[in-house]
Structure 1
Amino acid sequence: MAGVESTGSNPDVSLLYDINGLAEDAPHWFDRAMEWIGEYGIMAAMALLMVWCWWSVRKREDAPSAVAGLVWAPLAAGIALLVNIPIRGFVERPRPFVDHKGLEVLVAGKADFSFVSDHSTLAMAIGVGMFVANRKFGLAGIGLALLEGFCRVYMGVHYPTDVVGGFALGTAVALLLAPAAMALLTPLARAVADSRRAGRFVQAPEALRSAKARESGPEAEAGTGIGAEAGTRTETAPAPGQPGSDKDLAA
């Protein structure tokens, strides 16, 4: 492995060299693929996963609350990145290739501080935010976030603890602020769902009709009950010779 002699007794640095050392032994095309995946690919996959999740949850009767959770995912990621700005300025940890030689750095030009990883923070906040909306898609998003963290260390631009710190920050923001965010976003999503033009962006028309039918079920049943039958009953004139006929009245 490249630079193993420089790791000392620090497990963070040792793990950095172990993971990044895979890049030295890998084919050139694989390193280029990992570079693109770590910089752009996983973020693009996250965006596609969110679109897929939105298309799926809007068909549910509780779509407004699920869509509200999905909207919260990128908002949580943005807030987490803002929180990371003072953290980076306070810690001021240099990039690993600044203090440790022999690393295979796949992305050049990284001159800012290392702790915590923006990519890991962003990916995990989106993944956990999606988990609030839908567990299946959320688990897939969390899996992509873990892969993002591995790629950042593989590329030689972050320590493993930078990645772990990003995971913790993204998770904390997405979960701790979720109750307040959902309390604000869910009524807004329901209001949009009830509108004619934008409603389909929150809830599919068939799901909206089904939900309204279920809500108005008792009233509909009452409207078609005994009272409704009495209101639509037609009376027939009695036949001659039967009680209530004109002849009986004349007599």
Structure 2
Amino acid sequence: MMQAPEFSADLYREISEFAHGTPSWVHTVAEIGTDAGLLLFAALFVAGWWRARGADGRVMGLALAAPFAVVAAYLVSEVSKTFIEEERPCRAVAGAMNIAECPAPGDWSFPSNHATIAAASAAAIVVAWRAMAPVVLPLALLMAFSRVFVGVHYPHDVAAGFVLGCVAAPVVAVVLARVAAPLVDALRGVAVGVALLGPRPVAGVPGAAVPGGAVPTGAPVGVAGEPAAGRQVDAAVTMPDVMGGVVPRREPRP
């Protein structure tokens, strides 16, 4: 059975004693905060899926892989706990001042499952939706810290769980996305797949951004294939003419 490092036990005492002296409403927020945060992450998984509808197969693959990556990180954490067998500080530390109820014996402490899930959720979301990093990463840190604050984990438990989640989830998400991308493209060929995953991206739409700086199909082209910036397109050239590959000949003005 693993024994907690002395420095972590000392830090646990300081944090839990500070927490015990805070108002009761802070205790309530800290106890329900972890579960509420997990619900928010679940909502962001759904938002990420919706955002990826119509994007390319890899983007949708990353969005779909996010919850599976979290489950994978959790399983690694749970299996590790059964081998390491570190007792909870609310039982092992003399005079522990835990706010939350101490988990039952046999529910081991290292690493923290809650910290692993919070970090894995945040990391998987960031991999699929980078703009959410300033929101989800601080939230995951706060959720992890709350487990020490309420007195059910040592600081090193949540630190290890956080690192585990941040490492395992992105790796699993990227691997799953590679497998899922061709499947996403194939499913978009049927009606049910289009309803769930959105239509396939349309290449060459006028005005759409094209990777690599290429000129979108239908955009005015000048000398040497460069875009004709600032030039007015001849009104006689209609969209059916361009799409048919026939550019009407411009008559000389009298």
What TM-score range do you get, normalising by the shorter chain?
A: 0.7 to 0.9
| CA deviation string 1:212-239 (max 9, x = no partner) | 7479948x9985213x979xxxxxxxxx
- The structure-2 alpha-carbon separation of the partners of 1:209 and 1:65, relative to structure 1 and needing over 3 Å to count, comes to closer
Please name the residue that 1:30 is paired with.
Answer: 26
- The structure-2 alpha-carbon separation of the partners of 1:141 and 1:192, relative to structure 1 and needing over 3 Å to count, comes to farther
Please name the residue that 2:65 is paired with.
Answer: 72
Distance 1:221 1:103 in 2: 80
| CA deviation string 1:1-22 (max 9, x = no partner) | xxxxxxxx93212221232223
Distance 2:168 2:248 in 1: 57
Please name the residue that 1:238 is paired with.
Answer: none
Where structure 1 has 5 or more consecutive residues not aligned to the other structure, the ranges are 1-8, 231-251
Query: 1:88 pairs with 75, 81, 84, which one?
Result: 81
The one-letter code of the counterpart of 1:131 is: V
Between the two proteins, the alignment pairs up a number of residues equal to 214
- The structure-2 alpha-carbon separation of the partners of 1:200 and 1:104, relative to structure 1 and needing over 3 Å to count, comes to farther
Distance 2:66 2:31 in 1: 25
User: Residue 56 in 1 paired to residue 51 in 2?
Assistant: yes
TM-score (norm 2): 0.73
Please name the residue that 2:8 is paired with.
Answer: 12
Please name the residue that 1:242 is paired with.
Answer: none
- Measure how far apart 1:102 and its partner are: 2.9
Where structure 2 has 5 or more consecutive residues not aligned to the other structure, the ranges are 211-215, 219-239, 250-254
Distance 2:76 2:201 in 1: 42
Distance 1:104 1:211 in 2: 61
The one-letter code of the counterpart of 2:39 is: A
- State which structure, 1 or 2, has the greater radius of gyration over its C-alpha atoms: 1
Asked if structure 2 preserves the Cα contact closer than 8 Å seen for 1:49 and 1:141, the reply is: no
The one-letter code of the counterpart of 1:198 is: G
Indicate the RMSD between aligned Cα atoms, in angstroms. 2.9
More helix by percentage: 1
